[in-house]
Amino acid sequence: MSSSCFTDLAQQYIDGEWRPGTGSWDIIDFNPYDDEKLASITIATADEVDQAYRAAARAQKQWAATNPYARRAVFEKALRLIEEREAEISEAIIAELGGTRLKAAFELHLAKEFLREAVHLALAPEGRIIPSPVDGKENRVYRVPVGVVGVISPFNFPFLLSIKSVAPALALGNAVVLKPHQNTPIVGGSLVAKLFEDAGLPGGLLNVVITDIAEIGDAFIEHPVPKVISFTGSDAVGRHVATVCARLFKRSVLELGGNSALVVLDDADLDYAVDAAVFSRYVHQGQVCMAANRILVDRSVAEEFTEKFVAKVKTLKTGDPRDPQTVIGPVINSSQADAVSGVVEQALAEGATALVRGGRTDNLVEPSVLTDVPADSALLRQEVFGPVAFLVPFDGEEEAVRLVNDTPYGLSGAVHTGNVERGVAFAKQIDTGMFHVNDGTVHDEPIVPFGGEKHSGIGRLNGDTMLDSFTTTKWISVQHGRSGFPF
């Protein structure tokens, strides 16, 4: 994607119009690999957030009344546009967030799958007739849009994770205001708005505000118009979003962090488990909520597994994400690079052993593999958003279950075993929203409920669960004949 394209999209999109923000400062959009300035965007103020929500509220009623067969045509067109612009969008992902070519292809594939599901979701709401104990009464239960949805998307998969909430909410008859992450304002925000504008979505139904809480505070989540806030990001921010929403009687859908474990039992196919573990830890530099922070290995096979795991990690090429051979590109910014380097230094200070210790050049952080991390280390219980793997041996399944669950998070995980039913029995004991047998920890599918337990979130996305997230039920009763009243 050319630099001029970034410049063209470096605006707010409110009520069907592209316009600059009126804030007092600019967000500078940098390429995290070479620090090239991609765009400068004057931020939106709280007043512009209000304008976006008011525009959404005005447009939503007519959209909800639009025949769902007509609504779904927008998503069919958007899907065709992604296919036509795939190369351009891929370049934008590589430039703005440092995604490798493999990662960009992965994100675009999933984005198209979720748009295909949005086409079907437009026709999904169904009403019900429920029996009544009152003679002559007919109870109708309608499934109706919530109205306006506020979406806050993250920096790691910004195109996918914006579309993942925006498209279903729109398909179900809602309007949306989207706030992308400050590090990915184009791919996570303006690019999505341009896609739907070109697909024929009426103005006002999707608004994008590029801003920062330093400017608007809690205005985005406190505003009286949105009935649902869909947030993807850290558990610390998610806790604040949930608190504000609860105070204001709003619904929150929270997809938060994780500290997933990939478990290798004594009967696992070790070569396959190594492949799954390396992908699960190092995909997109480890900046994935479902990434396998911890690799738990039965002590009886730990030595062989470790040798193979370390050998494969050493083959991963770190460098320019534009190079098709690159597996590890830059992390999103220098603060993230500092944090990842700090994790390695802290682990070593606590007594861990570095089997692989990656170096750092600016935002490029090479993979590290650590073992002998003390069992009481906080590092084993927190999310590490970078290319650092902890190898942890265990003795038997009972200890493995305890170790996997010994974290405040509960998003994803995986177990490798030669016996599928043994794997399923193991998975049932883990306090997570998702768990995979003989596979990696990083998965997302359009019709399977996606979400976590404990500090990893509230609610689910994908498939039918979108109805619970972005619609509500309304009971309308009809009394055929006359009711009797006691006075």
Between CA 174 and CA 471 the distance in angstroms is 8
The two structure tokens encoding residue 336: 């993230």
Contact 113, 160 (CB under 8 A): no
User: Which residues sit opposite 296 in a β-bridge?
Assistant: 263, 392
Which single residue is written with the structure tokens 């039913």? 421
Comparing C-alpha atoms, which of 54, 91, 88, 322 is closest to residue 194?
88
Q: Cβ of 45: how many Cβ atoms within 10 Å? A: 19
Q: List the catalytic residues.
A: 255
Between CA 90 and CA 109 the distance in angstroms is 11
Between CA 33 and CA 484 the distance in angstroms is 74
Burial of 267 (0-12, 13-18, 19+ CB in 10 A): middle
Contact 148, 480 (CB under 8 A): no
Check residue 424 and report its DSSP letter: H
The torsion of the CA quartet 400, 401, 402, 407, rounded to 10 degrees, works out to 100
DSSP H or E stretch at residue 12: strand 12-14
Between CA 387 and CA 19 the distance in angstroms is 39
Between CA 389 and CA 408 the distance in angstroms is 18
